[in-house]
Structure 1
Amino acid sequence: MVSEKCLRKVILNSDVYTLCVQHALTTEKQEIMGLLVGEVDDIKCISKISACVTLHRSDKQPDRVEISPEQLCTASMYADQLSKKLDRPMRVLGWYHSHPHITVWPSHVDTRTQAVYQTMDPLFVGLIFSVFQNDSRSLNNLIQVTCFQAHQGASDLERTEVELVIQNSPFENYDLKGIADLPRILIQEEVECHDVKDNDTQDELANIHNDSFKTLALVHIVSKLSRPLCDDLEERLKTVNQRIRTLENLKKELQKR
Protein backbone atom coordinates (compact mmCIF):
# COMPACT_ATOMS: atom_id res chain seq x y z
CA MET A 1 0.00 0.00 0.00
CA VAL A 2 1.56 3.31 -1.12
CA SER A 3 1.14 6.32 1.15
CA GLU A 4 -1.18 9.09 -0.07
CA LYS A 5 1.45 11.68 0.86
CA CYS A 6 3.43 12.66 -2.24
CA LEU A 7 5.99 15.17 -3.41
CA ARG A 8 4.97 18.44 -5.04
CA LYS A 9 8.38 19.49 -6.39
CA VAL A 10 12.01 18.36 -6.61
CA ILE A 11 14.84 20.91 -6.88
CA LEU A 12 17.93 19.28 -8.34
CA ASN A 13 21.42 20.78 -7.98
CA SER A 14 22.86 21.36 -11.47
CA ASP A 15 26.16 19.68 -10.53
CA VAL A 16 24.29 16.59 -9.32
CA TYR A 17 22.35 16.57 -12.60
CA THR A 18 25.65 16.71 -14.52
CA LEU A 19 27.12 13.87 -12.47
CA CYS A 20 24.04 11.69 -13.00
CA VAL A 21 24.15 12.28 -16.77
CA GLN A 22 27.89 11.53 -16.89
CA HIS A 23 27.25 8.32 -14.96
CA ALA A 24 24.43 7.33 -17.32
CA LEU A 25 26.64 7.92 -20.37
CA THR A 26 29.39 5.59 -19.13
CA THR A 27 27.68 2.54 -20.63
CA GLU A 28 25.01 1.89 -23.24
CA LYS A 29 24.77 -1.84 -22.49
CA GLN A 30 23.67 -1.88 -18.84
CA GLU A 31 21.63 0.32 -16.56
CA ILE A 32 23.47 2.30 -13.89
CA MET A 33 22.11 3.63 -10.62
CA GLY A 34 22.78 5.77 -7.59
CA LEU A 35 21.14 7.41 -4.58
CA LEU A 36 20.14 11.05 -4.10
CA VAL A 37 20.90 13.01 -0.92
CA GLY A 38 19.61 16.37 0.27
CA GLU A 39 17.02 18.19 2.37
CA VAL A 40 13.25 17.91 2.36
CA ASP A 41 10.47 20.23 3.51
CA ASP A 42 7.96 17.78 5.00
CA ILE A 43 5.28 20.44 5.25
CA LYS A 44 5.48 21.80 1.70
CA CYS A 45 6.54 18.37 0.34
CA ILE A 46 9.49 19.83 -1.58
CA SER A 47 12.85 18.04 -1.88
CA LYS A 48 16.15 19.78 -2.58
CA ILE A 49 18.77 17.34 -3.87
CA SER A 50 22.34 18.60 -3.45
CA ALA A 51 24.47 15.41 -3.55
CA CYS A 52 24.41 11.87 -4.89
CA VAL A 53 26.06 8.55 -4.15
CA THR A 54 27.28 6.43 -7.07
CA LEU A 55 26.56 2.78 -6.33
CA HIS A 56 28.82 -0.17 -7.05
CA ARG A 57 27.06 -2.75 -9.26
CA SER A 58 27.81 -6.30 -8.26
CA ASP A 59 25.51 -7.58 -11.03
CA LYS A 60 25.32 -5.78 -14.39
CA GLN A 61 22.02 -6.15 -16.21
CA PRO A 62 20.75 -4.42 -19.38
CA ASP A 63 17.18 -4.04 -18.12
CA ARG A 64 17.14 -3.68 -14.34
CA VAL A 65 19.06 -2.47 -11.29
CA GLU A 66 18.60 -3.04 -7.57
CA ILE A 67 19.71 -1.36 -4.35
CA SER A 68 21.05 -3.64 -1.64
CA PRO A 69 20.36 -2.84 2.05
CA GLU A 70 24.14 -2.42 2.57
CA GLN A 71 24.33 0.27 -0.11
CA LEU A 72 21.32 2.08 1.35
CA CYS A 73 23.02 1.99 4.76
CA THR A 74 26.25 3.38 3.28
CA ALA A 75 24.35 6.24 1.62
CA SER A 76 22.56 7.00 4.91
CA MET A 77 25.93 7.21 6.70
CA TYR A 78 27.19 9.58 3.99
CA ALA A 79 24.07 11.74 4.48
CA ASP A 80 24.75 11.84 8.23
CA GLN A 81 28.34 12.98 7.57
CA LEU A 82 27.07 15.77 5.32
CA SER A 83 24.54 16.78 7.99
CA LYS A 84 27.32 17.27 10.52
CA LYS A 85 29.57 19.02 8.02
CA LEU A 86 26.92 21.44 6.71
CA ASP A 87 24.92 21.68 9.95
CA ARG A 88 21.76 20.90 7.96
CA PRO A 89 19.39 17.89 8.11
CA MET A 90 20.53 15.82 5.11
CA ARG A 91 19.09 12.41 4.26
CA VAL A 92 18.63 9.96 1.39
CA LEU A 93 15.77 11.39 -0.69
CA GLY A 94 15.60 9.11 -3.70
CA TRP A 95 17.33 7.04 -6.37
CA TYR A 96 18.28 7.45 -10.00
CA HIS A 97 19.01 5.01 -12.80
CA SER A 98 19.47 5.03 -16.57
CA HIS A 99 17.48 3.76 -19.54
CA PRO A 100 19.98 3.26 -22.37
CA HIS A 101 18.36 3.10 -25.83
CA ILE A 102 14.80 3.09 -24.44
CA THR A 103 12.25 5.71 -23.44
CA VAL A 104 12.46 7.66 -20.23
CA TRP A 105 9.18 6.34 -18.84
CA PRO A 106 9.31 3.98 -15.81
CA SER A 107 8.67 0.31 -16.46
CA HIS A 108 6.32 -1.78 -14.31
CA VAL A 109 9.41 -3.03 -12.44
CA ASP A 110 10.56 0.57 -11.83
CA THR A 111 7.11 1.53 -10.54
CA ARG A 112 6.95 -1.45 -8.18
CA THR A 113 10.48 -0.73 -6.92
CA GLN A 114 9.53 2.91 -6.33
CA ALA A 115 6.42 1.84 -4.42
CA VAL A 116 8.54 -0.33 -2.09
CA TYR A 117 10.85 2.61 -1.31
CA GLN A 118 7.83 4.83 -0.58
CA THR A 119 6.67 2.41 2.11
CA MET A 120 9.85 3.42 4.00
CA ASP A 121 9.62 7.13 3.10
CA PRO A 122 6.48 8.52 1.38
CA LEU A 123 8.54 11.41 -0.06
CA PHE A 124 11.14 9.10 -1.66
CA VAL A 125 11.52 9.97 -5.36
CA GLY A 126 12.87 8.31 -8.50
CA LEU A 127 14.78 9.88 -11.40
CA ILE A 128 15.28 8.14 -14.76
CA PHE A 129 17.80 9.33 -17.36
CA SER A 130 17.17 8.15 -20.91
CA VAL A 131 20.43 8.18 -22.89
CA PHE A 132 21.73 7.04 -26.29
CA GLN A 133 18.41 7.89 -27.92
CA ASN A 134 18.78 9.37 -31.42
CA ASP A 135 16.57 12.17 -32.71
CA SER A 136 15.65 11.20 -36.28
CA ARG A 137 15.24 14.84 -37.32
CA SER A 138 18.37 16.42 -35.86
CA LEU A 139 20.44 13.18 -35.75
CA ASN A 140 21.62 14.23 -32.29
CA ASN A 141 21.82 12.14 -29.14
CA LEU A 142 18.85 12.88 -26.88
CA ILE A 143 19.12 12.97 -23.09
CA GLN A 144 15.83 13.01 -21.23
CA VAL A 145 15.00 12.88 -17.54
CA THR A 146 11.80 12.17 -15.65
CA CYS A 147 10.98 12.52 -11.97
CA PHE A 148 8.29 10.24 -10.57
CA GLN A 149 6.59 8.57 -7.66
CA ALA A 150 4.19 5.62 -7.48
CA HIS A 151 0.59 5.52 -6.31
CA GLN A 152 -2.13 2.90 -6.16
CA GLY A 153 -4.49 3.18 -9.09
CA ALA A 154 -7.88 1.59 -9.60
CA SER A 155 -6.43 -1.82 -10.42
CA ASP A 156 -2.65 -1.55 -10.33
CA LEU A 157 0.27 0.68 -9.39
CA GLU A 158 0.63 3.82 -11.48
CA ARG A 159 3.37 6.43 -11.81
CA THR A 160 2.92 10.08 -10.91
CA GLU A 161 5.18 12.67 -12.50
CA VAL A 162 6.72 15.18 -10.10
CA GLU A 163 7.78 18.69 -11.09
CA LEU A 164 11.56 18.82 -11.51
CA VAL A 165 13.57 22.06 -11.35
CA ILE A 166 17.31 22.05 -12.15
CA GLN A 167 18.90 24.87 -10.18
CA ASN A 168 22.35 26.43 -10.48
CA SER A 169 24.28 26.35 -7.23
CA PRO A 170 27.83 26.76 -5.90
CA PHE A 171 30.23 23.93 -6.70
CA GLU A 172 30.70 22.11 -3.39
CA ASN A 173 33.48 19.78 -2.24
CA TYR A 174 31.10 16.81 -2.00
CA ASP A 175 30.11 17.31 -5.64
CA LEU A 176 33.78 17.19 -6.57
CA LYS A 177 34.17 13.99 -4.53
CA GLY A 178 31.26 12.40 -6.40
CA ILE A 179 32.83 13.26 -9.76
CA ALA A 180 36.22 11.91 -8.64
CA ASP A 181 34.67 8.70 -7.26
CA LEU A 182 32.86 7.79 -10.48
CA PRO A 183 35.89 6.50 -12.48
CA ARG A 184 37.22 4.70 -9.40
CA ILE A 185 33.93 2.84 -8.87
CA LEU A 186 33.69 1.84 -12.54
CA ILE A 187 37.28 0.57 -12.51
CA GLN A 188 36.57 -1.42 -9.35
CA GLU A 189 33.50 -2.99 -11.04
CA GLU A 190 35.56 -4.06 -14.07
CA VAL A 191 38.42 -5.48 -12.01
CA GLU A 192 36.09 -7.51 -9.79
CA CYS A 193 34.06 -8.74 -12.78
CA HIS A 194 37.11 -9.99 -14.67
CA ASP A 195 38.77 -11.43 -11.55
CA VAL A 196 35.71 -13.62 -11.01
CA LYS A 197 35.98 -14.89 -14.60
CA ASP A 198 39.70 -15.60 -14.14
CA ASN A 199 38.98 -17.73 -11.07
CA ASP A 200 36.70 -20.00 -13.13
CA THR A 201 39.45 -21.31 -15.38
CA GLN A 202 43.06 -22.44 -15.19
CA ASP A 203 43.63 -22.22 -18.94
CA GLU A 204 46.51 -19.82 -19.65
CA LEU A 205 45.16 -18.66 -23.02
CA ALA A 206 41.77 -17.97 -21.47
CA ASN A 207 43.42 -15.92 -18.72
CA ILE A 208 45.36 -13.89 -21.30
CA HIS A 209 42.14 -13.36 -23.27
CA ASN A 210 40.30 -12.15 -20.13
CA ASP A 211 43.19 -9.86 -19.14
CA SER A 212 43.11 -8.31 -22.62
CA PHE A 213 39.41 -7.51 -22.31
CA LYS A 214 39.94 -6.13 -18.80
CA THR A 215 42.67 -3.83 -20.14
CA LEU A 216 40.41 -2.67 -22.95
CA ALA A 217 37.62 -1.93 -20.47
CA LEU A 218 39.96 0.07 -18.22
CA VAL A 219 41.38 2.02 -21.18
CA HIS A 220 37.81 2.82 -22.24
CA ILE A 221 37.04 4.26 -18.78
CA VAL A 222 40.18 6.40 -18.81
CA SER A 223 39.75 7.68 -22.38
CA LYS A 224 35.97 8.14 -22.40
CA LEU A 225 35.41 9.29 -18.82
CA SER A 226 38.50 10.23 -16.80
CA ARG A 227 40.15 12.44 -19.43
CA PRO A 228 36.96 14.35 -20.36
CA LEU A 229 36.21 14.85 -16.65
CA CYS A 230 39.71 16.25 -16.09
CA ASP A 231 39.32 18.58 -19.08
CA ASP A 232 35.94 19.74 -17.79
CA LEU A 233 37.31 20.41 -14.30
CA GLU A 234 40.26 22.35 -15.74
CA GLU A 235 37.87 24.56 -17.72
CA ARG A 236 35.72 25.01 -14.63
CA LEU A 237 38.83 26.03 -12.65
CA LYS A 238 39.69 28.66 -15.27
CA THR A 239 36.14 30.03 -15.08
CA VAL A 240 36.23 30.15 -11.28
CA ASN A 241 39.63 31.90 -11.26
CA GLN A 242 38.35 34.45 -13.76
CA ARG A 243 35.32 35.08 -11.59
CA ILE A 244 37.56 35.53 -8.53
CA ARG A 245 39.65 38.11 -10.38
CA THR A 246 36.51 39.96 -11.48
CA LEU A 247 35.14 40.04 -7.94
CA GLU A 248 38.50 41.21 -6.55
CA ASN A 249 38.58 44.09 -9.04
CA LEU A 250 35.00 44.97 -8.13
CA LYS A 251 35.94 44.93 -4.44
CA LYS A 252 38.85 47.32 -5.05
CA GLU A 253 36.59 49.73 -6.95
CA LEU A 254 34.00 49.68 -4.19
CA GLN A 255 36.71 50.30 -1.54
CA LYS A 256 37.94 53.34 -3.48
CA ARG A 257 34.44 54.77 -3.55
Structure 2
Amino acid sequence: MVSENYLKKVNLSADVYSVCIQHALTTEKQEIMGLLIGEVNEEERVSNISACVILHRSDKQPDRVEISPEQLCTASMHADQLTKKLCKPMRVLGWYHSHPHITVWPSHVDIRTQAMYQTMDPMFVGLIFSVFQSDTNNSKNQIQVTCFQAHDKGSDFERKEIDLSIIPSPFQKYNLEEIAKFSKILSQEEVECGDSKVNDIHDELCTLHNDAFKTLTLVHIVSKVTRPLCESLEERKQIIYLLTKELEHIKLELGGD
Protein backbone atom coordinates (compact mmCIF):
# COMPACT_ATOMS: atom_id res chain seq x y z
CA MET A 1 0.00 0.00 0.00
CA VAL A 2 1.43 3.38 -1.03
CA SER A 3 1.35 6.01 1.73
CA GLU A 4 -1.14 8.89 1.53
CA ASN A 5 1.63 11.16 2.79
CA TYR A 6 2.35 12.64 -0.62
CA LEU A 7 4.82 15.35 -1.47
CA LYS A 8 3.36 18.82 -1.90
CA LYS A 9 6.20 20.39 -3.86
CA VAL A 10 9.58 19.67 -5.43
CA ASN A 11 12.32 22.30 -5.72
CA LEU A 12 14.80 21.27 -8.41
CA SER A 13 18.07 23.18 -8.66
CA ALA A 14 18.76 24.65 -12.09
CA ASP A 15 22.07 22.82 -12.50
CA VAL A 16 20.45 19.42 -11.86
CA TYR A 17 17.68 20.37 -14.31
CA SER A 18 20.39 21.16 -16.88
CA VAL A 19 22.13 17.80 -16.28
CA CYS A 20 18.85 15.91 -16.72
CA ILE A 21 17.99 17.77 -19.94
CA GLN A 22 21.45 17.27 -21.45
CA HIS A 23 21.38 13.60 -20.46
CA ALA A 24 17.95 13.12 -22.07
CA LEU A 25 19.23 14.70 -25.29
CA THR A 26 22.18 12.32 -25.63
CA THR A 27 20.04 9.72 -27.42
CA GLU A 28 16.69 9.71 -29.17
CA LYS A 29 16.51 5.94 -29.68
CA GLN A 30 16.37 4.71 -26.08
CA GLU A 31 15.27 6.03 -22.73
CA ILE A 32 17.94 7.22 -20.30
CA MET A 33 17.71 7.24 -16.52
CA GLY A 34 19.25 8.61 -13.35
CA LEU A 35 18.64 9.11 -9.64
CA LEU A 36 17.96 12.35 -7.78
CA ILE A 37 19.60 13.36 -4.50
CA GLY A 38 18.80 16.07 -1.96
CA GLU A 39 16.97 16.70 1.27
CA VAL A 40 13.31 16.69 2.34
CA ASN A 41 11.38 18.92 4.71
CA GLU A 42 9.22 16.18 6.20
CA GLU A 43 6.84 18.56 8.00
CA GLU A 44 6.10 20.71 4.96
CA ARG A 45 6.47 17.73 2.58
CA VAL A 46 8.79 19.67 0.28
CA SER A 47 11.66 17.96 -1.56
CA ASN A 48 14.80 19.96 -2.40
CA ILE A 49 16.81 18.21 -5.12
CA SER A 50 20.36 19.49 -5.60
CA ALA A 51 22.31 16.57 -7.09
CA CYS A 52 21.87 13.60 -9.41
CA VAL A 53 23.56 10.37 -10.45
CA ILE A 54 23.61 9.24 -14.09
CA LEU A 55 22.96 5.52 -14.40
CA HIS A 56 24.56 3.00 -16.72
CA ARG A 57 22.00 1.02 -18.75
CA SER A 58 22.84 -2.68 -18.85
CA ASP A 59 19.83 -3.35 -21.10
CA LYS A 60 18.97 -0.49 -23.45
CA GLN A 61 15.28 -0.37 -24.37
CA PRO A 62 13.39 2.21 -26.46
CA ASP A 63 10.37 2.25 -24.15
CA ARG A 64 11.47 1.38 -20.60
CA VAL A 65 14.27 1.63 -18.05
CA GLU A 66 15.16 -0.37 -14.97
CA ILE A 67 17.15 0.62 -11.89
CA SER A 68 19.01 -2.21 -10.19
CA PRO A 69 19.44 -2.54 -6.39
CA GLU A 70 23.19 -2.14 -6.94
CA GLN A 71 22.65 1.23 -8.62
CA LEU A 72 20.42 2.39 -5.76
CA CYS A 73 23.15 1.35 -3.34
CA THR A 74 25.80 3.26 -5.30
CA ALA A 75 23.60 6.38 -5.37
CA SER A 76 23.03 6.07 -1.60
CA MET A 77 26.79 5.94 -1.06
CA HIS A 78 27.14 9.07 -3.20
CA ALA A 79 24.47 10.78 -1.07
CA ASP A 80 26.41 9.83 2.08
CA GLN A 81 29.55 11.40 0.61
CA LEU A 82 27.66 14.61 -0.17
CA THR A 83 26.25 14.61 3.37
CA LYS A 84 29.79 14.70 4.79
CA LYS A 85 30.97 17.24 2.21
CA LEU A 86 28.03 19.65 2.49
CA CYS A 87 27.35 19.07 6.20
CA LYS A 88 23.64 18.50 5.64
CA PRO A 89 21.54 15.33 5.35
CA MET A 90 21.37 14.13 1.73
CA ARG A 91 19.58 11.05 0.46
CA VAL A 92 18.18 9.53 -2.74
CA LEU A 93 14.87 11.34 -3.29
CA GLY A 94 13.72 10.16 -6.68
CA TRP A 95 14.46 9.04 -10.22
CA TYR A 96 14.30 10.56 -13.67
CA HIS A 97 14.11 9.14 -17.17
CA SER A 98 13.40 10.32 -20.70
CA HIS A 99 10.58 9.78 -23.18
CA PRO A 100 12.10 10.35 -26.64
CA HIS A 101 9.51 11.06 -29.35
CA ILE A 102 6.54 10.32 -27.06
CA THR A 103 4.32 12.15 -24.59
CA VAL A 104 5.67 13.27 -21.23
CA TRP A 105 3.00 11.39 -19.27
CA PRO A 106 4.13 8.27 -17.35
CA SER A 107 3.10 4.87 -18.67
CA HIS A 108 1.38 2.24 -16.52
CA VAL A 109 4.82 0.65 -16.06
CA ASP A 110 6.27 3.99 -14.92
CA ILE A 111 3.46 4.50 -12.40
CA ARG A 112 3.81 0.99 -10.99
CA THR A 113 7.60 1.46 -10.72
CA GLN A 114 7.01 4.75 -8.92
CA ALA A 115 4.53 3.05 -6.56
CA MET A 116 7.16 0.42 -5.70
CA TYR A 117 9.69 3.11 -4.76
CA GLN A 118 7.11 4.89 -2.61
CA THR A 119 6.63 1.78 -0.50
CA MET A 120 10.28 2.25 0.53
CA ASP A 121 10.07 6.05 0.85
CA PRO A 122 6.72 7.95 0.65
CA MET A 123 8.63 11.09 -0.38
CA PHE A 124 10.19 9.41 -3.45
CA VAL A 125 9.34 11.27 -6.67
CA GLY A 126 9.61 10.69 -10.42
CA LEU A 127 10.60 13.12 -13.18
CA ILE A 128 10.03 12.46 -16.88
CA PHE A 129 11.63 14.51 -19.65
CA SER A 130 9.93 14.31 -23.03
CA VAL A 131 12.46 15.17 -25.77
CA PHE A 132 12.71 15.16 -29.56
CA GLN A 133 9.04 16.06 -29.87
CA SER A 134 8.22 18.35 -32.80
CA ASP A 135 5.19 20.58 -32.85
CA THR A 136 3.03 20.22 -35.97
CA ASN A 137 3.52 23.93 -36.70
CA ASN A 138 7.12 24.07 -35.54
CA SER A 139 10.07 21.87 -36.44
CA LYS A 140 11.96 22.77 -33.26
CA ASN A 141 12.62 20.16 -30.59
CA GLN A 142 9.96 20.45 -27.89
CA ILE A 143 11.04 19.60 -24.33
CA GLN A 144 8.56 18.94 -21.54
CA VAL A 145 8.97 17.76 -17.95
CA THR A 146 6.50 16.30 -15.48
CA CYS A 147 6.90 15.58 -11.78
CA PHE A 148 4.72 12.83 -10.32
CA GLN A 149 3.99 10.28 -7.64
CA ALA A 150 1.72 7.22 -7.68
CA HIS A 151 -1.76 7.49 -6.14
CA ASP A 152 -3.25 4.24 -4.79
CA LYS A 153 -6.79 3.75 -6.16
CA GLY A 154 -7.26 0.35 -4.55
CA SER A 155 -7.32 -1.85 -7.62
CA ASP A 156 -4.66 0.13 -9.45
CA PHE A 157 -2.46 3.23 -9.33
CA GLU A 158 -2.82 6.55 -11.10
CA ARG A 159 -0.54 9.54 -11.69
CA LYS A 160 -0.53 12.32 -9.10
CA GLU A 161 1.19 15.46 -10.40
CA ILE A 162 3.48 17.26 -7.97
CA ASP A 163 4.20 20.99 -8.16
CA LEU A 164 7.71 21.49 -9.61
CA SER A 165 9.82 24.65 -9.28
CA ILE A 166 13.22 25.21 -10.93
CA ILE A 167 15.43 27.06 -8.44
CA PRO A 168 18.27 29.24 -9.83
CA SER A 169 21.66 27.90 -8.78
CA PRO A 170 25.30 27.98 -9.88
CA PHE A 171 26.79 24.78 -11.25
CA GLN A 172 28.16 22.70 -8.40
CA LYS A 173 31.33 20.73 -9.02
CA TYR A 174 29.65 17.39 -8.35
CA ASN A 175 26.97 18.10 -10.98
CA LEU A 176 29.58 19.19 -13.51
CA GLU A 177 31.30 15.86 -12.86
CA GLU A 178 28.07 14.05 -13.74
CA ILE A 179 27.89 15.95 -17.06
CA ALA A 180 31.47 14.90 -17.79
CA LYS A 181 30.38 11.24 -17.47
CA PHE A 182 27.94 11.37 -20.41
CA SER A 183 30.36 10.27 -23.12
CA LYS A 184 32.11 7.69 -20.94
CA ILE A 185 28.84 5.99 -19.92
CA LEU A 186 27.44 5.99 -23.47
CA SER A 187 30.70 4.56 -24.81
CA GLN A 188 30.80 1.84 -22.15
CA GLU A 189 27.23 0.85 -23.00
CA GLU A 190 28.06 0.57 -26.71
CA VAL A 191 31.25 -1.43 -26.07
CA GLU A 192 29.44 -3.86 -23.75
CA CYS A 193 26.60 -4.24 -26.24
CA GLY A 194 29.04 -4.88 -29.09
CA ASP A 195 31.13 -7.34 -27.08
CA SER A 196 28.05 -9.35 -26.09
CA LYS A 197 27.12 -9.71 -29.78
CA VAL A 198 30.65 -10.78 -30.72
CA ASN A 199 30.61 -13.49 -28.03
CA ASP A 200 27.41 -14.94 -29.51
CA ILE A 201 28.61 -14.94 -33.13
CA HIS A 202 31.39 -17.11 -34.54
CA ASP A 203 31.22 -15.91 -38.14
CA GLU A 204 34.24 -13.74 -39.06
CA LEU A 205 32.30 -11.53 -41.49
CA CYS A 206 29.58 -10.85 -38.95
CA THR A 207 32.22 -10.06 -36.34
CA LEU A 208 33.87 -7.53 -38.67
CA HIS A 209 30.48 -5.97 -39.40
CA ASN A 210 29.66 -5.63 -35.70
CA ASP A 211 33.08 -4.15 -34.94
CA ALA A 212 32.63 -1.61 -37.73
CA PHE A 213 29.17 -0.70 -36.47
CA LYS A 214 30.51 -0.29 -32.92
CA THR A 215 33.26 2.01 -34.18
CA LEU A 216 30.71 4.05 -36.14
CA THR A 217 28.56 4.40 -33.02
CA LEU A 218 31.51 5.54 -30.91
CA VAL A 219 32.42 8.13 -33.56
CA HIS A 220 28.80 9.30 -33.47
CA ILE A 221 29.03 9.74 -29.68
CA VAL A 222 32.17 11.84 -30.06
CA SER A 223 30.70 14.07 -32.78
CA LYS A 224 27.16 14.42 -31.42
CA VAL A 225 27.76 14.34 -27.65
CA THR A 226 31.39 14.82 -26.61
CA ARG A 227 32.31 17.66 -28.97
CA PRO A 228 29.15 19.78 -28.42
CA LEU A 229 29.47 19.18 -24.67
CA CYS A 230 33.08 20.39 -24.63
CA GLU A 231 32.12 23.45 -26.67
CA SER A 232 29.26 24.21 -24.29
CA LEU A 233 31.51 23.93 -21.23
CA GLU A 234 34.13 26.15 -22.89
CA GLU A 235 31.47 28.78 -23.59
CA ARG A 236 30.28 28.55 -19.99
CA LYS A 237 33.87 28.93 -18.77
CA GLN A 238 34.33 32.04 -20.95
CA ILE A 239 31.10 33.60 -19.65
CA ILE A 240 32.17 32.98 -16.04
CA TYR A 241 35.57 34.53 -16.82
CA LEU A 242 33.96 37.67 -18.29
CA LEU A 243 31.55 37.97 -15.35
CA THR A 244 34.44 37.64 -12.92
CA LYS A 245 36.36 40.40 -14.71
CA GLU A 246 33.28 42.63 -14.66
CA LEU A 247 32.78 42.09 -10.93
CA GLU A 248 36.45 42.86 -10.28
CA HIS A 249 36.09 46.09 -12.28
CA ILE A 250 32.99 47.10 -10.29
CA LYS A 251 34.79 46.31 -7.05
CA LEU A 252 37.68 48.61 -8.02
CA GLU A 253 35.29 51.42 -8.94
CA LEU A 254 33.64 51.09 -5.53
CA GLY A 255 37.02 51.29 -3.84
CA GLY A 256 37.10 47.69 -2.66
CA ASP A 257 40.27 45.90 -1.60
Structure 1 CA distance for aligned equivalents of residues 96 and 56 of structure 2 = 13
Q: Which amino acid aligns with 2:73?
A: C
- How many residues are matched? 257
Structure 1 CA distance for aligned equivalents of residues 150 and 70 of structure 2 = 24
Using the TM superposition, give the Cα deviation of residue 155 of structure 1 relative to its aligned residue in structure 2, in angstroms: 3.9
Which residue is equivalent to 2:22? 22
Show the 5 A alignment for 1:139-178.
139-153=139-153, 155-178=155-178
Show the 5 A alignment for 1:205-216.
205-216=205-216
Using the TM superposition, give the Cα deviation of residue 154 of structure 1 relative to its aligned residue in structure 2, in angstroms: 5.3
Structure 2 CA distance for aligned equivalents of residues 116 and 66 of structure 1 = 12
Structure 2 CA distance for aligned equivalents of residues 256 and 124 of structure 1 = 47
Percentage of matched positions with identical amino acids: 68
Which residue is equivalent to 1:107? 107
Using the TM superposition, give the Cα deviation of residue 162 of structure 1 relative to its aligned residue in structure 2, in angstroms: 0.5
Which residue is equivalent to 1:240? 240
Structure 2 CA distance for aligned equivalents of residues 235 and 156 of structure 1 = 48
Using the TM superposition, give the Cα deviation of residue 250 of structure 1 relative to its aligned residue in structure 2, in angstroms: 1.9
SS in 2 for 1:140: strand
Corresponding position: 1:97 with 2:97: yes
Which residue is equivalent to 1:83? 83
Structure 2 CA distance for aligned equivalents of residues 248 and 39 of structure 1 = 35
Show the 5 A alignment for 1:1-257.
1-153=1-153, 155-255=155-255
Using the TM superposition, give the Cα deviation of residue 254 of structure 1 relative to its aligned residue in structure 2, in angstroms: 2.4
**Any stretches of 5+ residues in structure 2 without a counterpart?**
none
Using the TM superposition, give the Cα deviation of residue 235 of structure 1 relative to its aligned residue in structure 2, in angstroms: 0.6
SS in 2 for 1:128: strand
SS in 1 for 2:232: helix
SS in 2 for 1:149: strand
**Any stretches of 5+ residues in structure 1 without a counterpart?**
none
Q: Which amino acid aligns with 2:63?
A: D
Structure 2 CA distance for aligned equivalents of residues 202 and 15 of structure 1 = 47
Structure 2 CA distance for aligned equivalents of residues 44 and 19 of structure 1 = 27
Q: Write out per-residue CA displacement over residues 136-178 of structure 1, whole angstroms, 9 at most, x where no aligned residue.
A: 0122211110000011125421111001111210111101100
